[in-house]
Structure 1
Amino acid sequence: MRVLVTGGSGFLGSHLVDRLIRDGHDVICLDNFFTGSKDNIRHLLGHSRFELIRHDIVEPILLEVDRIFNLACPASPVHYQYNPVKTVKTSVMGTINMLGMAKRVHARIFQASTSEVYGDPQVHPQREDYWGHVNPLGIRSCYDEGKRCAETLMMDYHRQNGVDIRIARIFNTYGPRMAANDGRVVSNFIVQALRGKPLTLYGDGNQTRSFCYVDDLIEGFIRLMEHPSEVRPVNLGNPNEFTIRELADLVRELVGSQVAVEPPATRPVRAPGRR
């Protein structure tokens, strides 16, 4: 098949591109490199079944493809808070453009959504039919609400135009090619430990997260995309929860570091207590 991956030079996108090429597909990687890195896909440049197009999905593009994986969007607080308007535009206008392409060429389209659509949930664990507990006005809302709108657009194009859709709500993911400076807890702890700096622990460390290895997540992407009929959102992640303090202790153990764990110098933007 001829497969389009938007955001294909990012952390998740580049792993997905690798997997698709290994599976024998022809892959088009579409990226504006706002947060992605050419280093993530450099090993594929010149490959006979790989094509790289520098393009922002906020602008329309005409391509003939069989499958679309729409992953393009800043996904870490450092990036989406730097340019929140662009983040919303990517989730909304970009998704409209990709859905328009899917409608025109009769391609199946996969939307990379997020567990952030649940906001600061009051139900644990979150089922896909839970509507969430959200703040549409906070400085993190550009990402959360953009993804919620993208899901709405996917469902509306499916109901109104018969577009064949798949929606994955992604939970915390880790693995090779994570950006060291993206502000996520796994990369933060590892970088701090390797540099011999104290691990920054927000709050009491009892907040919980689930952490899924990137290869397992990509396997979930592939299985969901090839499911014959599942158009409703599907949670993808590790079902096991860990506290942030447990993660800090594990990183210190693996790195062999005796650095301290301490609170930050400034109060952070509030993140969900459990996910």
Structure 2
Amino acid sequence: MLPDPRCPPVQGRLTALHDHLDASPLDGRTVFITGGTGFFGYWMLSLFDLLRQRGVDVRVRLLSRNPAAFAAVAPYFSAQSWVSCVRGDVKSFADATPADLLIHAATDTDAAAHRDPLAIMDNILLGTRHTLAHALSSGVRRVLYVSSGAVYGVQPADIEQLPESASCACDATHPDSAYGSAKRGAEQWCVQFGREHGIAIPIARCFAFVGAGLPLNGHFAIGNFIGDALAGRPICVNGDGTPLRSYLYGADLAIWLLKILLQGTHGQAYNVGSDQAVSIRELAETVRDALCPEHAVHITRSAPDNALRSRYIPAIGRARSELDLDVWTSLEQAIRLTAASAAPHQHA
């Protein structure tokens, strides 16, 4: 079950950051969201809930293949009159209710989903085409397309931080590039569709995140490390610990996404994430030091000699300069807040 958005690790941090967002354009508006029942949706809905508490009359229509399942994991949101669910699949849903803004974030990032690359491509490409057609017929004039840093493919060893202008891309012929290639193709569809129909569609290329709602027993290293710490286990690194990653906290993410939706330029891509690199080993040690200093960190493999170091770090200068966005929550604070939202009785 998702944490209550009124709990201090969620609402408290959103409250501390909400002045970075001018929410007045949301007043009296309806936002349609695809992909709003997962981690991204939880944080966006939590931010909308806070804005409503502060007098912003925003309403949300949420696409869900299984509204009953959403109600079971998010009972607080399912009980709110300002949230309504539209049952359907992203490739074929029907909804005639007008909307003002749309956030298209529907993508299954679960590891099991990636074992069916054709389904992944269908959901991204056909889902984007159908969602944009729905936006046009619903009178939407601004759409946020939530893309991924996967569009860049493998980060070159000589590039410390990937800028949006990077010419690198995933290998379109590699079997493992279905997700990144489809996201890149969907970005181009958004660019052309927006030009043709006069809809502003900025693009958010998302990297890695942490916060309430992140699985603590899945394929996310930081979630697994926090899960180990809360369970009293040694923190286990399933690898050599050398890859470099960065993490943006969920409250920061929610502000970033809404600000890009409201102010981003059509067809412009904005990297969304932290530019503060940390190795997976350092990440495990940071989690250990923050949550369970007495525990060990176990590295399961030694790093091979002269191996290229995996790196997945965005440059965020465009978001900083154009939209005044930043990494406001430190990694250590994000870890503590995530742990507190998962086990408030252990880490208040």
> TM-score range with shorter-chain normalisation?
0.7 to 0.9
One of 73, 93, 104 as aligned partner of 1:70: 104
Is 2:211 the partner of 1:178?
Answer: no
Deviation at 1:41, TM superposition (A): 2.8
Counterpart CA distance in 2 for 1:222 and 1:176 is 18
Deviation at 1:39, TM superposition (A): 4.6
Counterpart CA distance in 2 for 1:181 and 1:55 is 28
C-alpha offsets along residues 173-212 of structure 1, whole Å, 9 cap, x if unaligned? 1100112233011112122333414512423x22211100
C-alpha offsets along residues 158-186 of structure 1, whole Å, 9 cap, x if unaligned? 22232221210111111001122330111
Is residue 119–residue 272 contact of structure 1 (8 Å, CA) maintained in 2? no
Would you tell me which structure has more helix in proportion to its own residues? 2
Counterpart CA distance in 2 for 1:190 and 1:46 is 30
Instruction: Give the structure-2-normalised TM-score.
Output: 0.71
Is 2:186 the partner of 1:150?
Answer: yes
Deviation at 1:40, TM superposition (A): 4.7
Please tell me the residue identity of whatever aligns with 1:161.
H
SS at match of 2:107: coil
Task: State the partner residue of 1:31.
Answer: 64
Counterpart CA distance in 1 for 2:112 and 2:99 is 29
Is residue 237–residue 280 contact of structure 2 (8 Å, CA) maintained in 1? no
Counterpart CA distance in 2 for 1:153 and 1:230 is 12
Is 2:311 the partner of 1:273?
Answer: yes
Please tell me the residue identity of whatever aligns with 2:278.
F
Deviation at 1:228, TM superposition (A): 6.2
C-alpha offsets along residues 101-159 of structure 1, whole Å, 9 cap, x if unaligned? 12223311111111111111223311111132423344542221121111111011022
Counterpart CA distance in 1 for 2:274 and 2:49 is 25
Counterpart CA distance in 2 for 1:131 and 1:31 is 35
Task: State the partner residue of 2:323.
Answer: none
Structure 2, unaligned stretches of length 5 or more?
A: 1-28, 52-56, 302-307, 314-348
SS at match of 2:155: coil
1:134 to 1:229, Cα distance in 2 relative to 1, 3 A: closer
Task: State the partner residue of 2:150.
Answer: 116
One of 287, 290, 295 as aligned partner of 1:251: 287
1:51 to 1:37, Cα distance in 2 relative to 1, 3 A: closer
> Quick check: 208-217 or 142-151, which moved more?
142-151
Is residue 143–residue 200 contact of structure 2 (8 Å, CA) maintained in 1? yes
Please tell me the residue identity of whatever aligns with 1:104.
S
1:79 to 1:272, Cα distance in 2 relative to 1, 3 A: farther
> Quick check: 36-45 or 220-229, which moved more?
36-45
Counterpart CA distance in 2 for 1:274 and 1:113 is 15
Counterpart CA distance in 2 for 1:12 and 1:228 is 18
Aligned sequence identity (%): 22
Structure 1, unaligned stretches of length 5 or more?
A: 265-269
Task: State the partner residue of 2:21.
Answer: none
Is residue 37–residue 70 contact of structure 2 (8 Å, CA) maintained in 1? yes
Task: State the partner residue of 2:38.
Answer: 10
C-alpha offsets along residues 2-48 of structure 1, whole Å, 9 cap, x if unaligned? 111111110111211222243331101112259x8545532022312
Is residue 80–residue 142 contact of structure 1 (8 Å, CA) maintained in 2? no
Task: State the partner residue of 2:118.
Answer: 85
SS at match of 1:226: helix
Is residue 194–residue 266 contact of structure 2 (8 Å, CA) maintained in 1? no
1:189 to 1:139, Cα distance in 2 relative to 1, 3 A: farther
Please tell me the residue identity of whatever aligns with 2:237.
T
SS at match of 1:120: coil
1:110 to 1:213, Cα distance in 2 relative to 1, 3 A: same
One of 236, 251, 262 as aligned partner of 2:299: 262
RMSD, aligned α-carbons: 2.5
Counterpart CA distance in 2 for 1:248 and 1:134 is 28
Counterpart CA distance in 1 for 2:291 and 2:31 is 39
Instruction: Give the structure-1-normalised TM-score.
Output: 0.88
One of 263, 278, 287 as aligned partner of 1:242: 278
SS at match of 2:263: coil
1:37 to 1:181, Cα distance in 2 relative to 1, 3 A: farther
Please tell me the residue identity of whatever aligns with 1:44.
F
1:21 to 1:231, Cα distance in 2 relative to 1, 3 A: farther
Q: Rg larger in 1 or in 2?
A: 2
SS at match of 1:112: strand
1:82 to 1:39, Cα distance in 2 relative to 1, 3 A: farther
Is residue 5–residue 17 contact of structure 1 (8 Å, CA) maintained in 2? no
